[in-house]
Amino acid sequence: MNILVPNLGSTSLKFQVLDMPSERVLARGRLERVADYPAAIRSIDTGGARVDAVAFKAVHGGPRYRGTFPVDDGVLGALEEYLSAAPAHNRIYLTGIRAFRQAMPGVPLVAAFETEFHATIPDAAALYGVPADWLQRGIRRYGFHGASHQFIAGRVPEVLGREAESLRMVSCHLGGSSSMCAITGGRSVETTMGFSPQSGLENATRHGDLDVYAVLARMAAEGWTVEEATARLTGAGGLAGLSGIAGGDVRDLEAAAEAGNQAAGLALDVFCHGVRKTIGAYAAVMGGLDVVAFTGGIGENSATLRERCCEGLEFLGIRLDRDCNRGGAGDRLISAGRVAVVVLATNEELVVARRAFRLLAGMGR
């Protein structure tokens, strides 16, 4: 079964076609400056490989959709319902799914929700102290980046040659959008993102953890609508807001900090502090720590930030081998202490294809 997995951005479309269950990549590509999704989809070059199904890394479908499902009106309705919680993500997937429906009529479409991997988080870690009727309406911690954290949960034991059941792990998916996950025995037990992808670590242009009353206070003082406040929080917050550097790209912040930009340096301090604090907290949640895994654009590529994120954690058994951290390529061990620290390339598309294949095979497709 050949499964096309598109990774949709606001103006980009990356894709892979995987032969399942062999997991062989038959084609991959990237389209930039996408303004017309139906036209972009029609231009996808699969290298002659047929497409038997399309599987999407869907983001937020609320409490009912925390797994992998055939795309139907219920899935689309859930993406619409939770649009306000994940506006930058659900909107583009709604657009993309409808465009693929139009461009590839009759081809099965599958939604593999990012929240699936975090469905194992216990209620003590997932519930907020909100009125009971809010809880009944689905207000809780869902967690995101599930495909990435799930891949890391499976890949780390392979790299270390150890059984997943024996490992207490912190997965650090650090990039333009960042989150962390505590994983025991291959299962998510805690994560930084909550009801929406807005909470947790600071992101490039989206704030991380924030007292809701700070937002209410600003809305009251400025007379902002919900839409106006949302635009500021999602497009001008996070590392961009802290540094004053548009886009909040860590590479730009590092260059600016080296040139003496104090605001950029402070933004990086805030980011690294959040990672360090979370590693310590998750070690407490899991009753110990065996592995810290770095992935994502920042996690894979910034040796400096990896070092800064691990500073002061020697008491947990975390100590980096500076030469291994600064050099080398590919999946590798970079630690010299009791806790294994690894750098890994994530593969969200593969996880999505695996989920979709299991679903479709079970349906007799």
Report the C-alpha gap between 119 and 144 in whole angstroms. 11
According to the model, what pLDDT value does residue 9 have? 78
Q: Is the pLDDT of residue 32 over 90?
A: no
Name residues whose C-beta falls within 8 Å of residue 243's C-beta, 6 or more positions apart in sequence.
253, 256, 261, 263, 264, 266, 267
Q: How confident is the model at residue 37 (pLDDT cuts 50, 70, 90)?
A: confident
Q: Is the pLDDT of residue 252 over 80?
A: yes
Mean pLDDT throughout 263-276? 98
Q: Which residue has the tokens 């461009």?
A: 103
Q: Is the pLDDT of residue 11 over 80?
A: no
**Has this prediction a pTM greater than 0.85?**
yes
According to the model, what pLDDT value does residue 33 have? 84
Model confidence pLDDT, tens digit, residues 55-64: 999 999 999 9
Name residues whose C-beta falls within 8 Å of residue 68's C-beta, 6 or more positions apart in sequence.
110, 111, 112, 113, 116, 355, 356, 358, 359
Instruction: Give percent of the chain with pLDDT exceeding 90.
Output: 90
Q: How confident is the model at residue 13 (pLDDT cuts 50, 70, 90)?
A: confident
Model confidence pLDDT, tens digit, residues 289-343: 999 999 999 999 999 999 999 999 999 999 999 999 998 888 999 999 999 999 9
- Lookup: tokens for 178: 């960042």
Q: Is the pLDDT of residue 251 over 90?
A: yes
Report the C-alpha gap between 213 and 343 in whole angstroms. 38
What average pLDDT does the structure give for the chain? 95
Q: How confident is the model at residue 94 (pLDDT cuts 50, 70, 90)?
A: very high
Q: Is the pLDDT of residue 73 over 80?
A: yes
Q: Is the pLDDT of residue 365 over 80?
A: no
Mean pLDDT throughout 187-210? 96
Q: Is the pLDDT of residue 212 over 90?
A: yes
According to the model, what pLDDT value does residue 364 have? 78
Mean pLDDT throughout 48-53? 96
Report the C-alpha gap between 4 and 52 in whole angstroms. 8
Ordered alpha helix ranges (H), 161-249: 212-222, 226-235, 238-243
* 162-348 has the same fold as 2-113: yes
Residue 27's DSSP bridge partners are 17
147, 177 Cβ separation under 8 angstroms: no
Question: What is the CATH code of the structural domain delimited by 162-348?
Answer: 3.30.420.40
110, 20 Cβ separation under 8 angstroms: no
Report the C-alpha gap between 309 and 299 in whole angstroms. 10
Name residues whose C-beta falls within 8 Å of residue 282's C-beta, 6 or more positions apart in sequence.
170, 180, 182, 190, 289
According to the model, what pLDDT value does residue 8 have? 86
Q: Where are the domains of the chain?
A: 2-113, 162-348
Mode of pairing for the β-strands spanning 13-19 and 2-8: antiparallel
According to the model, what pLDDT value does residue 35 have? 82
Which CATH class, in words, describes the domain spanning 2-113? alpha beta
